[in-house]
Amino acid sequence: MYIGVGSNLNEPVNQVQNAIEELAEIPDTMRVLVSTLVHSPPLGECAQPDYINAVVALVTQLAPESLLDILQRIESEHGRTRSGKRWDARTLDLDILVFGARRIATERLTVPHPHLHERSFVLGPLNELAPDLWITGLGAVRVLAQQIDFSELQPLTEYGHRKTIGAN
């Protein structure tokens, strides 16, 4: 399973790095891989700072909704407030991108994430970790990545090694 991590407020690099460490501490869960951190422009038309994003691969025994509860608690502990506005600036955003081959559509959770195939800041890091991953209903990450413009992503190489961002 894969989690998208993002922040654009209150020292976003630190927010993302701390959240990545906290993901490793979730009960019945093991952090397996962490992508390169990338710098990306915000979505939407609001004036706000750029984002720092990453993707983390986890193995968990938790049910999807239980994991979501923990992710939202971590967001709150990082000062995340939910204004109800789409694409608002945030201290931390944790999204379940993929949960195995499962499709989930509840009031609280949609998996695979409904927009992951449209977002360079998700597909670039996800392609770095798992280019052959099959996204239910969408196809292979490698193929999805070939359809995305990655020119706005800037890898933060000073925070770790970097593989290819974007299409392989």
- Look up 80 and say whether it is catalytic: yes
- Look up 88 and say whether it is catalytic: no
d(C-alpha 47, C-alpha 87), whole Å = 11
- Give me Rg for the CA atoms of the chain: 15
**Amino acid at site 93:** D
d(C-alpha 91, C-alpha 64), whole Å = 23
Query: Active site residue: 86, 88, 93, 149, which one?
Result: 93
- Three-state DSSP at 106 gives coil
Please provide the DSSP assignment of 23-62 as one string.
HTTSTTEEEEEEPPPEEEPPSSS---PPEEEEEEEEEE-S
Task: Check: CB of residue 130 under 8 Å from CB of residue 2.
Answer: yes
Query: Active site residue: 73, 95, 102, 162, which one?
Result: 95
- Look up 95 and say whether it is catalytic: yes
Which are the catalytic amino acids? 80, 90, 93, 95
